[in-house]
Amino acid sequence: MEFGQTMSAFCKDLHNSRVALIKVIFFFLTGATSCLYPFLPLYMKSRGLRLGEAAIILGLTPIFSVAGTCLASKVAVRASNVKVLLTALTVLCGVFPLLLLAVPMGRSETPLPNFTVPMSVFCGLTSHPELFLLPLPPVPGHSCHLPEDVAVVPKIKVGVCGHMCAGSIPASDDAPRDLHDLYLAERALQLDNRFFLPDKGFECPSRPCTVDQLLGGASDYENVSIHVATHPHLTRYTIITIQHQLDSPMERIWERCRNPLSFHSSFAWSRIHHGFNCEHHCQAAVESHDLCINKVMIHDLDVSRSFWMLLVIKSVNTLLASLTLALLEASVSGFLREQGGGGADLGRQKTAGLLGKVVLPIAVGFLVDVFSEVRHINFTCLLLSFLALKLVVAACIWCSALSAVSEPQIPLKNVLSMLKNIELDVLLFMAFAAGVFSGYLDHFVLWHLEDIGARMWLLSFSIAVAAFVSLPVTVVAEPVVRKLGSGRLVTVGLAAVGVKLFAYGLLVVPELCLAVELLEPLVGPLFICAVLRYGRNITSKTSGDTTSVLVATAHYGLGRGISAPLIGGLLFLLEVDFPEAAKILGGTALACGVIYYMFWHCCFNYVRQVVPQSSERSQRSRWGSVRYLSFRKNRLRRAAAAAATAGQSGTQETTRPDLVTIEEVKANGTGRPGP
């Protein structure tokens, strides 16, 4: 019934050309906003910013949104021609984001070249034989990230084996006669602060020996299992332990570690081995594509300049957008009052914005994909599409009948006294928590989807699906909340956002995000409607508008706007990636839902069911239901004491009406003490 009436009124508005033009304005305005703002984190990513740096920008800019709304009241008083002002601001909002194209690259990525990583294979220092790979100083300009924990190296080249000894190569003049030939520099290779003596029988083609010559005629060992860790005795380098298996391909080298004395060909070798703390050692090498887990190299260019330019452009654009929207809504409200409508008509006009959020992102997403390469979004096309939509909005405003603007009012009365209501405080905290959980997805889910291979059309389609399924629910939200109860739907909303976070944390196929977005009605319109209705029910009738402002501030301003990106950035700095962070926040959201349901059902709702005759004023008191529970508890104690006294005196006394128990009132069902 409600849906039919709303659709009838919506279609009736289309017969009035001036009102229909207002719908067109909101259609293109909301659609244009949905085409650009969700993708700004991806543009920051394309400029080389890390997630933590982007989170700081996203967390600070909502402050300018509040400033723009407050500035609108000052501008409205001094505005002489509202159409010219709104048209100019709308065009400026479309042109200003083009400055993003002037932001330089903060970091650049280049493919990791295929190069040889020199390694050192040597025996362990512990009593149990171990075989280690020790990366030598890396090749300049190359960045090789070693795998974590256990991995399998497809191929390791092992060249000449010998002894790696501490210290510099001894001078031949100082060497004993029988060790002279072994100490000669022609046979030793100085490596860092150590020297390497190859096994007897190896001769360098040139002097001095090089690592490449030591790898000449190397043997290839395939599918070698390794374990990457930091060795307690060798903390200067990351140590890679070669896992010993029965069919180990490096059995010959393992034998050197198990029987070191058998490889001392002479007494001289033994003296060298013990005199200079030598270890059995083999020169080795691994190709970078076999060992390095990173496929790209990151180069820092001008991170600071990129960060500050993005922060300034995003902040100014947010200020202009919020100022324009506040003035437009105030002007449309005045226009609708002239047409004989009310506040409900403004909501009906803004419903057309949801249609724009469904249609325009899909169209722009496919257009951008046509001009984009794989895994690279063409942001120039995206910004030009946003400008074109803004110009359409400006043209519609110029052709509209908007002629005056009333000063926007922010209804805030008796805020401090309202915040003394503990039931309202709990509700506002849950609205804030839901804003944090939903805002984390708003800011970072597209970043994650792009990382796992989503194209621009899919990212846009996910936004459109969320808006499409929310559209009919927005129309019927009020009767649904009246039917199911606002307290229950607040709990359902927290549980739904928890499930949504868990689903994105487990998501590996990007196309499945469309199924996850079907939960958006429970997280968005139903949750907000339930919180607003609940807030109005537990406050005075004259404070309804103030309650709405408090809920919007807690959910959208503090929750989604400021706290969500900052918490996301903090988790990133703690090296918690998106899937793990989504699971953590999802579990927290589910816990909040359970706690709130217990609080609401066992405390607030229980008292209202037990005492149905309690006045509205008592339910809206300073401490609300919690104070009433304490009062009833004291009553029970006095009733028990009176019953004990009557039993001791042996007299039968009539129970006083003010000492009636909660159970008696509930059983009576009338809300009055029993006879």
Domain spans of the chain, in order of start: 1-106+303-410, 116-297, 421-610, 618-668
∠ Cα 469 467 519 (to 5°): 50
The confidence score (pLDDT) of residue 675 equals: 37
Q: Is the pLDDT of residue 633 over 50?
A: yes
Confidence of residue 355 (pLDDT cuts 50, 70, 90): confident
**Residues forming beta bridges with residue 227, ordered by sequence position:** 150, 241
- For the domain made up of 1-106+303-410, the CATH class stated in words is mainly alpha
User: What mean pLDDT comes out for the span 431-442?
Assistant: 90
The residue assigned the tokens 């995000």 is 513
Cα 599 to Cα 591: distance, rounded to the nearest angstrom: 12
Cα 582 to Cα 572: distance, rounded to the nearest angstrom: 11
Q: Is the pLDDT of residue 201 over 90?
A: no
Confidence of residue 338 (pLDDT cuts 50, 70, 90): confident
Q: Is the pLDDT of residue 594 over 80?
A: yes
Between 94 and 333, residue with greater pLDDT: 94
pLDDT digits (tens, 9 = 90+) for 528-553: 888 888 888 877 776 767 777 788 88
Name which of 49-53, 203-207, 337-341 the model is least confident about: 203-207
The confidence score (pLDDT) of residue 312 equals: 94
CB atoms within 10 A of CB 219: 14
User: What mean pLDDT comes out for the span 445-449?
Assistant: 90
Q: Which of 21-30, 202-211, 495-504 has the highest mean pLDDT?
A: 495-504
- 72, 98, 100, 327, 392 from 317: Cα distances, Å: 15, 11, 11, 15, 18
Element holding 54 (H helix, E strand) = helix 51-60
The confidence score (pLDDT) of residue 501 equals: 93
Nearest to 375 by CA among 47, 46, 54, 55: 46
The confidence score (pLDDT) of residue 558 equals: 84
Name which of 119-128, 307-316, 437-446, 585-594 the model is least confident about: 119-128
Between 222 and 58, residue with greater pLDDT: 58
Name which of 22-36, 171-185, 430-444 the model is least confident about: 171-185
Q: What is the dihedral of CA 591, 593, 595, 599, to 10 degrees?
A: 180
User: What mean pLDDT comes out for the span 328-340?
Assistant: 79
Confidence of residue 101 (pLDDT cuts 50, 70, 90): very high
Between 232 and 17, residue with greater pLDDT: 17
Name which of 493-507, 578-592, 610-624 the model is least confident about: 610-624
The confidence score (pLDDT) of residue 343 equals: 44
The confidence score (pLDDT) of residue 112 equals: 79
What is the share, in percent, of the chain residues with pLDDT greater than 90?
Answer: 17
Q: Which of 71-80, 96-105, 170-179 has the highest mean pLDDT?
A: 96-105
Q: Across all residues in the chain, what is the average pLDDT?
A: 75
| The CATH number, out of the four listed (1.20.1250.20, 1.10.3210.10, 2.40.50.100, 3.40.50.300), of the domain defined by the range 421-610 | 1.20.1250.20
Q: Which of 69-73, 260-264, 272-276 has the highest mean pLDDT?
A: 69-73
Element holding 152 (H helix, E strand) = strand 149-166
Between 144 and 507, residue with greater pLDDT: 507
Between 502 and 353, residue with greater pLDDT: 502
Q: Which of 264-273, 397-406, 576-585, 639-648 has the highest mean pLDDT?
A: 576-585
∠ Cα 7 13 17 (to 5°): 150
The confidence score (pLDDT) of residue 480 equals: 86
Same fold, 1-106+303-410 and 421-610: yes
